[in-house]
Chains A and B, each alone.
Chain A
Amino acid sequence: MKPRLAFTLIELIISIGLGSIIILTAFASFRSVAAAIATADRLGRENTLMRQGVLAAYEEIDFWQMQDNPNGDPADPILNGQGLRQFDNSGVRNVFFDNNYIPNNGKAGTAYSMRGLPFTPFQSMAAVTDLHDSGLRIFQRAGAAGSDTERGWDPNYHWKASDQRTWFQGDWGSPENGDLRFGRYSLITNVRPSVTLGDPTRISATRDPVSDGPYGLDMRWVDYSSSSGFNTGNYNIGGPVPPLHTWRENQLRGIQACLGNYGLMEYAPANTLFTSQGGDWWYKPPVPPGNIPADPTNATKVVDESMVQLLPGSIWPSMRYRGQKTEISGPIPRSPYIYYENAGIITKGNDRGLNDVIMDHHGYHGRSGLMGFGIGDFAGTQQYLGQVKNWRRFENKINVREPLMVRKPAQFPDVTVSVERYHTDGHFATACAVRWVNLQTGQLVEVHFNGFGTTLRGARQQRKPGGGWAKWDSSTTRDLNLDDMTP
């Protein structure tokens, strides 16, 4: 056997040197690779989450589950994720108006009819009454189909332009609560089946000439040329008058009562004039014009025949594409939770909160309530909402920000998805945001975009009144959905 030689010292030193170099190189390479892999992994994970967030936003655009979860929400034992199906039937209008609109001459707490939210089933709203007439049911299924007396929502009817019922037949040239200068168009169309026109017995003696100003818009029959000034004659001789048409006014006001402004603009055909005949509101001009003699009777308050502008922001008739230039109308409230602004907390099912949300959604809170923005003034709106704090207050009422993943590894970034829906500038905005915190820098970053998808009407038709998803695309099966009024 050939004797084996040991390594020489030089060999050993070289070997150790080489080995060290190899180890160091490998270690350095390993560290670099590990760091690079970690970075790539983080980027990849963020990208995946971001992509999933964008996809989740698009899915939300189509299915509205943040606003209403047909499957229910165990995290919300009170409202079950379906808070926007509520309606308020408390009969108390705990709401203030601004922008010179004073309901019933400024008397608060006036009784009013029930009001719904975007996902309130039409079935639940059958008893809804007109805002201006608590005895008038405007949406309960009744009357002969196709006739002017038909009431309630028929999901199979499509507002044919050739149908005389769908035509606006009021006075386009007059403002809300005007003086009926161009005639009593309530003879032709009104929300009520019979209207009392210019009834002197309904003149109020309580009008305050100071607070109401020397000039109140007078809807009575008046002949100023008579030597006695105000004439006591009236158009109520013979009693109330039945208008020729009532269907359109009931439909529009019924939709608005059920769904708010957003739903109104969606459900009514494009380019609908959002005005209707038959109101009892009072409009007081901001600055009483001069050279107006005092009203010798010191009272004018005639109901039934004023025009009512259904959208905030203007006393003039407006359309979705017109006249909504500077407004935000009918934002969809956050849901399923009801935001109770005064307490600064989120409550579930709180009556006061519900009232607030409903009033917000219907635009009654006006500018100071941040939801109605009925100020009709571009610069004012812009300056107001241009303030970050105001915008955030507004967003607090509409923004639903949900985590992309309820449970996740701790090293995953927190990704949230939010979708805000409102109508502005003739445009249904669906503002989506995917937000996360950069794990390396701690920076809060957001990808935001608008998307288009399912309408509110489509979303309602996706849902069963009692919960669950409705089948609507089958030729043999059609489940009842939120738009059906009869079981």
Chain B
Amino acid sequence: MVNSNSLGNRHGLTLFEIAISATILALAFTVVVSLLPRVIRAQEQARYQVYASAKVMDLMESFYCNPITSVDVDFEMVPKPSGGEVSTRLSGRPWKTIGAYNAMHFDLENRLGSVYGGLLPLPPVIARRLDSDNDEIQRLLDRGGVLYYGNPLPTKGIQIDMLAEIPAPTETRKLVYGFIGHAQQGTIPSLPWKAGPTYTSYPSPPIGEGGQWCDSEDPRDEPPIILTDPFSSPLRRVTASRLYPADPGILATIWGSSGNGTLWNQRGVSWDRNADAGFMAYAGGLTHGDGSYPQTAERAKRYVATAYWYAEYIAQSTPWAPATPWLTGSRLATDAEILQEAQSATVGKRLRSLRYLAHALMCMTRVFDRATLVAGVAIAPPLVAPLLPGPASPRGLYSFDPTFINVTEDVKTPTGLAPRFTEATILNIHQNLIRLAMRAVTERPHDWSIPKPINRAVMSDIPLFEWGAQGGAASLISGMASGDYPLMTARQWRPLHAGPMPIENIGRNRTNSSGTTSPMDASAWGNPVNVTLTSRFNPDERCRQIVAWAVDWQSYEDSETAPSAPVDASRYPFQTHLDGESNGALYSACVEGSDGQGKFRDNSQKQFRNPELRMLFTRDVNNQDPDPAFRQFLATGSRVSIVIGGASSASIVLQANTNPDQLPDDKTNLTPRKVFAGLYGADRNVNGVLDRGPVPASTRLRASLVARFNVYNPRLPLTMR
């Protein structure tokens, strides 16, 4: 029952109370409403985190699953043919090798911040306008770091660059990335003094160290390809004149005649016309200069004769174990014989000579009737004896120029051996060779006079070399950067080797047998106490952090016209001059297509060019360049590429011109260099349109932190799959 008194005593809410209540309610609403943008911002942040996570996973895939060296170039020490460089290159001048100190490093930032790595450097003028918590971005830049943006092109794992048919979410373009933490010391990809292929085929001919020889093309157009390691592409066609085998014995085996220390491209129109014996005389080309065919039984025998002579020449100074069948092929070698030979310190020399001999002998199976070969083919003394030095004779079938060959006194004594080879002995020699090669490289993995057999599929064989960065300037190797143009002083850290055994015969792979050249100068090595590659470490010591921020940097008015970040020249595969070369340039790029003028060939050196290569503008769209041919005012929204992904002469985006010989940035004069450097800007969202955003360059933008990713930076190059 209701108490009427109590009802009677109750009063209604006063106006003041209502006003207070309404105020409280309004405040509550206001608070709720004010929180909602934060909710939305949190959702946006979550979306950025998804984008960033996918991007970083993609970067890791790129880092760990691509081949561990550039597919574009390799970097053997290639000596100069005329001799001077051969004698001096080993005296401690690593800058004579095209493997620049940073070109091939398996370094996180080095690989990811490149044309195909997935990240592109943000123009510094824009990066300098970005604020962030604790000013982290500016501190990164102050320390020499780089801020990157994600490559806007779809990730396809393929070198097709303009596949932008599906637009990436615009939010992803707002993400920028930085690498926090110090760069890590890892193995150096190649020792500059190496001077010889790491891998070769067994058997293979005495040139190019395993080079491929074509039979349907003129070898002048298809010079041998040198192997360095199996993880890179074939070494591009190194200029033939650099493939100088300093060992005169090898030269004789190649040419079978004197030559003048040069290869086919300097021997006149018909490169093998005057080669009367040896590999070149047999193998080369379709016809001789006189129209005759080179692959004759006679020339095969001469090739065998020269290879056999060379094998004997080597065996006289470093003999095979007695009574072994290595040069006769009378039987298969026993496992014990192979082991004994494989453990010998001088096996590299003999193995090489056997490699040539086996190759020459196999050629006989091509040009001889089987019945003849089963019965046996004699390499008669007349074929061998004239190889011995004597008075120079008119160029004949068997003559060698003693003044060049410089045969030792030992070889002057005729052996009287008249080797006779049958099909069975040829096959035995082949099998003995390949078994010995496999065993030798296993028994003596640190002997670099033994090229590793490409015939055997193994995953990795990475020597533990590093640069010894300790000790300051006094400990550096120093010298002049150029032989004929001593314009500047060059310096390099000293190499350290962390392996359990010293590397033997560095620099002697191709040149060791005659003793005319020296190995790597021992004084070039750094102090082994500084080796760090095998030191214990905690995971966090080798971790770097990829930090992602979100900022709408593409809303800047100059987001596409701002110059590219400075191109890192330390990544170029440059070498300094070789002695005796006298072209006008200070540096030359010793890879295919190099013209000695520092010219960049797009198809050879993309990896080392401006990372924004494919989107660079080829003229100044603000009409400011002094050269009228390279300036043009374009209104915002103008097409800069008519067809994305297609060539168009009207396009001003570099990608549109896919002919590597016609790229606007590969010339040596000033304006193409500006294109190369990205001074005209780039189509940075790859939409084919010139964009100028609404935000003036004087405005600073704030970048909000999205995510941090810890990444292990390995010591050794590796490929996951």
Q: Which of B45-53, B390-398, B528-536 contacts A (4 or more CB under 8 A)?
A: B45-53
Assess A449 versus B54: contact at CB under 8 Å? Given A178-B215, A181-B366, A183-B363: yes
Neighbour of A427 across the interface among B157, B168, B230, CB < 8 A: B157
Q: Mark A225-259, 1 if CB is under 8 A from B, else 0.
A: 10000000111111000001000000000000000
Assess A452 versus B368: contact at CB under 8 Å? Given A167-B434, A386-B162, A386-B646: no
The verdict on A56 contacting chain B, using a C-beta distance below 8 Å, is no
The verdict on B239 contacting chain A, using a C-beta distance below 8 Å, is no
Q: Mark A172-210, 1 if CB is under 8 A from B, else 0.
A: 111100111111110110000000011000000000000
Neighbour of A269 across the interface among B65, B231, B234, B459, CB < 8 A: B459
The verdict on B154 contacting chain A, using a C-beta distance below 8 Å, is yes
Shortest distance from the beta carbon of B145 to any chain A beta carbon, whole Å: 24
| Interface magnitude class on chain B | 35 or more
Q: Is the CB of B659 within 8 A of A379?
A: yes
A184→B8 CA distance, assembly (Å): 122
Number of A-B contacts (CB under 8 A): 333
Q: Which of A41-49, A86-94, A141-149, A337-345 contacts B (4 or more CB under 8 A)?
A: A41-49
A378→B661 CA distance, assembly (Å): 13
Q: Which of B292-300, B401-409, B665-673, B675-683 contacts A (4 or more CB under 8 A)?
A: B292-300
Q: Mark B644-666, 1 if CB is under 8 A from A, else 0.
A: 11110000000000111000000
A391→B156 CA distance, assembly (Å): 11
* Most chain A CB inside 10 Å of its own CB: which residue of B71, B211, B361, B368: B71
Assess A36 versus B39: contact at CB under 8 Å? Given A18-B19, A321-B230, A391-B645: yes
A54→B47 CA distance, assembly (Å): 12
Q: Is the CB of A182 within 8 A of B366?
A: yes
A257→B63 CA distance, assembly (Å): 32
The verdict on A32 contacting chain B, using a C-beta distance below 8 Å, is yes
Q: Is the CB of B43 within 8 A of A159?
A: no
The verdict on B720 contacting chain A, using a C-beta distance below 8 Å, is yes
Q: Is the CB of B296 within 8 A of A223?
A: yes
Q: Is the CB of A391 within 8 A of B160?
A: yes
Neighbour of A447 across the interface among B54, B210, B230, CB < 8 A: B54
Neighbour of A426 across the interface among B67, B218, B369, CB < 8 A: B67
Shortest distance from the beta carbon of A42 to any chain B beta carbon, whole Å: 9
Shortest distance from the beta carbon of B682 to any chain A beta carbon, whole Å: 18
The verdict on A127 contacting chain B, using a C-beta distance below 8 Å, is no
Chain B residues near A326: list those with CB within 8 A: 159
Q: Is the CB of A273 within 8 A of B457?
A: yes
Q: For A170, give the chain B residue with the smallest CB separation.
A: B455
Chain B residues near A388: list those with CB within 8 A: 163, 165, 644-646
The verdict on A65 contacting chain B, using a C-beta distance below 8 Å, is no
Chain A residues near B51: list those with CB within 8 A: 447
The verdict on B314 contacting chain A, using a C-beta distance below 8 Å, is no
Neighbour of A197 across the interface among B25, B292, B370, CB < 8 A: B370
The verdict on B423 contacting chain A, using a C-beta distance below 8 Å, is yes
Neighbour of A450 across the interface among B155, B172, B212, B660, CB < 8 A: B155
Which residues 110-157 in A have Cβ within 8 Å of B in the complex? none
The verdict on B711 contacting chain A, using a C-beta distance below 8 Å, is no
Neighbour of B658 across the interface among A217, A321, A379, CB < 8 A: A379
A171→B212 CA distance, assembly (Å): 10
Q: Is the CB of B157 within 8 A of A429?
A: yes
The verdict on B66 contacting chain A, using a C-beta distance below 8 Å, is yes
Chain B residues near A224: list those with CB within 8 A: 292-293, 295-296
Q: For B116, give the chain A residue with the smallest CB separation.
A: A425
Neighbour of B168 across the interface among A198, A217, A270, A445, CB < 8 A: A445
Assess A235 versus B646: contact at CB under 8 Å? Given A168-B455, A169-B455, A328-B158: no
Q: Which of A20-28, A67-75, A296-304, A404-412 contacts B (4 or more CB under 8 A)?
A: A20-28
The verdict on B169 contacting chain A, using a C-beta distance below 8 Å, is yes
Q: Is the CB of B168 within 8 A of A447?
A: yes
Neighbour of B40 across the interface among A18, A39, A181, A435, CB < 8 A: A39
Chain A residues near B232: list those with CB within 8 A: 321-322
Shortest distance from the beta carbon of B304 to any chain A beta carbon, whole Å: 11
A29→B35 CA distance, assembly (Å): 12
Chain A residues near B515: list those with CB within 8 A: none
The verdict on B620 contacting chain A, using a C-beta distance below 8 Å, is no
Q: For A272, give the chain B residue with the smallest CB separation.
A: B457
The verdict on A40 contacting chain B, using a C-beta distance below 8 Å, is yes
Q: For A236, give the chain B residue with the smallest CB separation.
A: B370
A195→B54 CA distance, assembly (Å): 54
Q: Is the CB of B434 within 8 A of A44?
A: no
A319→B660 CA distance, assembly (Å): 25
Q: Is the CB of B287 within 8 A of A291?
A: yes
Neighbour of B58 across the interface among A173, A221, A450, CB < 8 A: A450
A332→B159 CA distance, assembly (Å): 19
Shortest distance from the beta carbon of A361 to any chain B beta carbon, whole Å: 18
Which residues 388-425 in A have Cβ within 8 Å of B in the complex? 388, 391-392, 420, 422, 424-425
A376→B540 CA distance, assembly (Å): 44
Q: Enumerate 22 A-B pairs (CB-CB under 8 Å) in ascending A order.
A: A15-B15, A22-B25, A159-B457, A166-B457, A173-B204, A180-B366, A181-B215, A181-B295, A182-B362, A183-B362, A187-B427, A223-B296, A237-B374, A269-B459, A271-B230, A322-B234, A388-B645, A425-B71, A426-B233, A429-B158, A445-B169, A448-B58
Extra pairs beyond A40-B39, A183-B364, A452-B64 (14, CB < 8 Å): A15-B18, A54-B50, A181-B213, A182-B363, A184-B365, A221-B370, A223-B367, A238-B374, A289-B218, A429-B156, A431-B156, A448-B154, A448-B166, A450-B155
- List 9 tightest A-B contacts by C-beta distance, closest first: A429-B157, A183-B362, A224-B293, A36-B36, A43-B43, A172-B201, A449-B58, A225-B296, A29-B29
